[in-house]
Amino acid sequence: MKTHHPRDRRLPLLAAVFAFIVALLAACGGGDGGIGSGGTGASSGYAVGTVNGFGSIYVGGVRCDDTRARLGIVTTAGAPAEGTPDVKLGQRVEIEFDPGSAACRVIEARIDPEVVGLVSSVSPLVVAGQRIVVVGDASIAPATVFEGFADASALRVGDRVEVHGQRIVVAGVGIVVRATRIERKPVSDTWVRVRGTISGVTATQFTIGGLVVKRDAGTRIAPAGTTFADGQTVVAWSNTPVAADGSIDASAIRLALRLFADQQQVRVEGPVSGCSATPCTLPKIDGLAVDLSGATFPFGSTADVADGIAMFVEGRWDAARAVLVATRAIVRLRDVNAGDVTLIGLVSDFVSASDFSVRGVPVTTDGSTVVEAGCTVAEGRIIGIRGQIRNAQVVASRIECLALADGLTLDIFGGMLNVDTTAKTFNLAEGPYRVYTLTWDDNTVFGGGLTPQGLADGVRVGLRAVLTDGKLLVKRIVADPLPTNAPGGALYFGNYGIAHDVSATGLTVGRITMNIVPGTTVVNGTVVDGTPVRTWFYRTSILAPWTALQVTAITWQ
Of the listed ranges 66-70, 199-203, 414-418, 513-517, the least confidently predicted one is 66-70
Amino acid symbol at 358? V
Three-class SS string for 504-524? Answer: CCEEEECCEEEECCCCCCEEE
Query: What confidence category does residue 30 fall into, taking pLDDT thresholds of 50, 70 and 90?
Result: very low
Indicate whether 344 pLDDT > 60: yes
Q: Determine the Cα–Cα distance for residues 92 and 462; give it in Å rounded to an integer.
A: 27
The whole-number pLDDT of residue 15 equals 28
Would you state the pLDDT for residue 102? 62
- Say whether pLDDT at 38 is over 70: no
pLDDT (0 to 100) of residue 495: 84
Lowest mean pLDDT among 142-151, 319-328, 548-557: 548-557
Q: Mean pLDDT across the chain, nearest whole number?
A: 87
- Least confident range from 228-232, 441-445, 456-460: namely 441-445
Q: Which residues pair with 60 in a beta bridge?
A: none
Q: What is the 3-state secondary structure (H, E, C) of 254-285?
A: EECCCCCCCCCEEEEEEEEECCCCCCCCCCEE
Closest CA to 149 of 138, 135, 159: 159
pLDDT of residue 12: 29
Class at the top of the CATH hierarchy for domain 265-334: mainly beta
Q: Which amino acid is at 66?
A: D
pLDDT at residue 29 is higher than 50: no
Domain map (residue ranges) of the chain: 19-111, 118-137+146-255, 265-334, 409-479, 492-553
Domain 118-137+146-255 coded CATH 1.25.40: no
49-63, 152-166, 419-433, 469-483: least confident range: 49-63
CATH number for the region 492-553 comes to 2.40.50
Task: Kindly state the average pLDDT of the residues 522-547.
Answer: 92
Flag the least confident range among 35-49, 138-152, 279-293, 493-507: 35-49
CATH code linked to domain 409-479: 2.40.50.320
Q: Answer whether 234's CB lies under 8 Å from 199's CB.
A: no
Share of the chain above pLDDT 90, in %: 64
* pLDDT at residue 32, as a whole number: 29
Same-fold call for 265-334 versus 492-553? yes
Please calculate the CA angle 208-259-199 and round it to the nearest 5 degrees: 15
Give the separation between CA 40 and CA 264, rounded to whole angstroms.
9
Task: Give the per-residue pLDDT at 17.
Answer: 33
C-alpha span between 331 and 363 (Å, rounded): 28
How many Cα neighbours within 13 Å face the side chain of 91?
A: 24
Range from 203-212, 275-284, 487-496 carrying the lowest mean pLDDT: 487-496
Q: Are strands 546-553 and 532-538 parallel, antiparallel or unpaired?
A: antiparallel
65-79, 190-204, 308-322: least confidently modelled range: 65-79
Cβ atoms within 10 Å of 236's Cβ, excluding its own: 26
**Are 39 and 261 within 8 A, CB to CB?**
yes
Residue 348 confidence class, pLDDT cut points 50, 70, 90? confident
End-to-end CA distance of the chain: 32
